[in-house]
Structure 1
Amino acid sequence: MENSTAYLHFNLTMFMKLGHYRYAAFVFCLVLYSFIVFANVVIILVILRENTLHQPMYIFIAFLSLNSLYGSAGFFPRFLMDLLSDTHLISRPACFTQIYVIYTYASFELTILSIMAYDRYVAVCHPLHYHRKMDRKTVSVLTFVAWVCPACNLAITLDAGIRVPLCGNKIHKLYCATWNIVKLSCDPSAVNSIAATLGAIVIAFVPFSFIFYTYLRIVLACWKNSSEVRGKVLQSCVPHVISFAIYSLTSFSDTALSRQNLKEVNPYVAIILSLEFIVLPPVLNPLVYGLKLPEIRRNILRLLKLKRKSCRIFQEPKHVH
């Protein structure tokens, strides 16, 4: 560790020289971020406003939208500034803060999807006991576990990462990531790397296995029922399955990319794969739930009609008699 240095900044090196095209890229990403904020805020407002949607299933959907706003806020403001900047230096505290936000966002997404899967499992496989098993106390406990456990786990992990001695400050990514900083370590320990990898696999494997198990039980339960019941179950479960598939594919792409030698990967492909993990779920989740679940879709249309009507009344000139 003689060559270690206390770097005050990290350099994000994946940004390409876009010339005048960076303004078009900035506008496109700003519009995308605006859509993420608008769509997820609409989902949250609709669920908060409508008493009929104050049920565990819709509360968890609101948590998913809230998490999308949280994760996007940890990425887009900094990313938009970097698009217009010629240098892409990020301070050490800002870098580790971004790591914490983005990785807790990813963990929250997985834990929320897990409790959503459990909610659907109880609703389909134990419908007569649903209100007893998913009462207010149970929802509160599940919510606490979904938010607090990942936050504490990532805080401990990040504290260990901050203490790692570094022999470089170049992060070949568009945002700060744990694995990229670990690769800059002056004293990489094989034991610690294996332990960290096994820990990450276990932490991810348990929720993934649980989600697969619950949906397998749901499929088996639906198989024994009538086509009408199967249709209703599919209507409520398909959005969750789509969200889980989007999360799984994008997180796998990001994990696989971080383990590759990026010098051998097409730079455009690398940029797309590194962005989809933080961009696609916040964009697609509100569309999936807004379009697939009739209760949410109906209330969104009602909310937009009320907004349009109030704007029209406000804009109409008052006649003076």
Structure 2
Amino acid sequence: MRIMVNVTFFTLAAYSDTGAFKHLYFMIVMCLYMLILCSNLLLIVVICVNRSLHEPMYMFLCSLFVNELYGSTGLFPLLLLQILSDIHTVSASACFLQIFSVYTYACVEFLNLAVMSYDRYLAICHPLQYNTRMTANKVVVLIAVTWLFPFLMIAVLISLSAPLQLCGNVINRVYCGNYGIVKLACSDTTLNNIYGLVYTVISIIIPLLLILYTYVKILRVCFSGCKQTRQKAVSTCTPHLASLLNFSFGVCFQIYQSRFDMSSVPHMLDILLSLYFLTCQPLFTPLLYGLKMSKIRIICKRLLCGDV
């Protein structure tokens, strides 16, 4: 029989005693966090201060970089604190705040990638109508929806999880997850599970289907078009596809990891893979777009080298 407890804090049980290595781990994670902050901030500044980059594609990119900063900040400060701590606990309010941050980050990322694929679809498949169909007002609306809709969805998710009566406070992860809290519940979680399924479909499945549809259309134009059209499609779509595949892998593994037994996986590998979509994507995205997109690469080089 499970006994209900009054939970004011959660214990993150995935941390192991690192002993003398904890300061080394702290420095590695801190350097990674600083690299993520600097690379994303650099590209946000480059896009904002250069009027030549005030185009829809770069505005969506700027939104993506802001989201990378938001998501990594939802993870790293608490992660750094836990690495140095001997007692790996987090207050209930801080835990739900981290869940809100991490889940909205993931939802915004998928929606932002879907909007970017729609933008590329219009640019490649309807180039003559692009300026009339992708207006400044439409860009603002798409970015606003990309951010506000996930905030609303996750607010509902948290409002369903927070009142649950819990029979424990141990989460077997290095950061807080909503499903980890739902598994601790003594009360009925049917509504939580149904809404969790709806959230997954809306935030992951539908954006992926939209991206698949746009790329089918883009590929048709590429195969039937001239060499110049194919080169344009490859140069603008390759970074987007690479970013999408990288993030999708991390999220799919995180979903699998939270719902199935991972005891056969080495503990350190389990931790690294659980952090993949929150660490590699914020680092991978600015490097990928900064290197692959010539306009951004040239302006970054001028900015860093001090050239006018």
Q: TM-score, normalised by structure 1?
A: 0.92
Deviation per CA, 1:191-227: give whole Å up to 9, x if none.
4365234313421211110011111111111111122
What percent of counterpart residues are identical? 36
CA distance in 1, matches of 2:246, 2:45: 24
Say whether residues 1:299 and 2:299 are aligned partners: yes
Q: Which residue of 2 aligns with 1:49?
A: 49
1:153 maps to a residue whose letter is M
CA distance in 1, matches of 2:276, 2:70: 16
Q: Which residue of 1 aligns with 2:101?
A: 101
In the TM superposition, what is the alpha-carbon distance from 1:148 to its structure 2 partner?
A: 0.5
Say whether residues 1:199 and 2:198 are aligned partners: yes
Question: SS at the partner of 2:225?
Answer: coil
CA distance in 2, matches of 1:3, 1:132: 62
CA distance in 2, matches of 1:225, 1:96: 50
CA distance in 2, matches of 1:87, 1:246: 33
1:122 maps to a residue whose letter is L
CA distance in 2, matches of 1:300, 1:122: 27
- Structure 2 CA distance for partners of 1:149 and 1:193, relative to 1, 3 Å: closer
1:75 maps to a residue whose letter is L
Q: Which residue of 1 aligns with 2:247?
A: 247
Check the 8 A contact 2:157/2:196 in 1, yes or no.
Answer: no
2:236 maps to a residue whose letter is S
Deviation per CA, 1:85-133: give whole Å up to 9, x if none.
1111100000000000010011110111111011000000110000001
Deviation per CA, 1:139-165: give whole Å up to 9, x if none.
111111101111011101111110111
CA distance in 1, matches of 2:197, 2:96: 22
Check the 8 A contact 2:9/2:92 in 1, yes or no.
Answer: yes
Q: Which residue of 1 aligns with 2:120?
A: 120
Say whether residues 1:138 and 2:138 are aligned partners: yes
Q: Which runs of 5+ in 1 are unaligned?
A: 311-321
CA distance in 1, matches of 2:197, 2:94: 28
Q: Greater CA deviation, 111-120 or 257-266?
A: 257-266
CA distance in 1, matches of 2:26, 2:77: 11
Question: SS at the partner of 2:10?
Answer: strand
CA distance in 1, matches of 2:264, 2:225: 52
Q: Which residue of 2 aligns with 1:319?
A: none
Check the 8 A contact 2:13/2:174 in 1, yes or no.
Answer: yes
CA distance in 2, matches of 1:177, 1:194: 14
Q: Which residue of 2 aligns with 1:318?
A: none
Check the 8 A contact 2:157/2:195 in 1, yes or no.
Answer: no
Deviation per CA, 1:9-65: give whole Å up to 9, x if none.
000000111111111111111000000000000110110111110000001111111
Q: How does 1:1-321 map to 2 (within 5 A)?
A: 3-189=3-189, 191-192=190-191, 194-203=193-202, 204-306=204-306
CA distance in 2, matches of 1:149, 1:137: 18
Check the 8 A contact 2:124/2:229 in 1, yes or no.
Answer: no
2:86 maps to a residue whose letter is D
CA distance in 2, matches of 1:243, 1:262: 26
Check the 8 A contact 2:157/2:192 in 1, yes or no.
Answer: no
Q: CA RMSD in A?
A: 1.5
- Structure 2 CA distance for partners of 1:131 and 1:73, relative to 1, 3 Å: same
In the TM superposition, what is the alpha-carbon distance from 1:188 to its structure 2 partner?
A: 4.2
Rg: which structure is higher? 1
CA distance in 1, matches of 2:196, 2:159: 17
* Count of matched residue pairs: 307
CA distance in 2, matches of 1:20, 1:212: 48
In the TM superposition, what is the alpha-carbon distance from 1:256 to its structure 2 partner?
A: 0.7
Q: TM-score, normalised by structure 2?
A: 0.96
- Structure 2 CA distance for partners of 1:269 and 1:290, relative to 1, 3 Å: same
CA distance in 1, matches of 2:12, 2:224: 54
Check the 8 A contact 2:2/2:167 in 1, yes or no.
Answer: no
CA distance in 2, matches of 1:75, 1:225: 45
1:101 maps to a residue whose letter is S
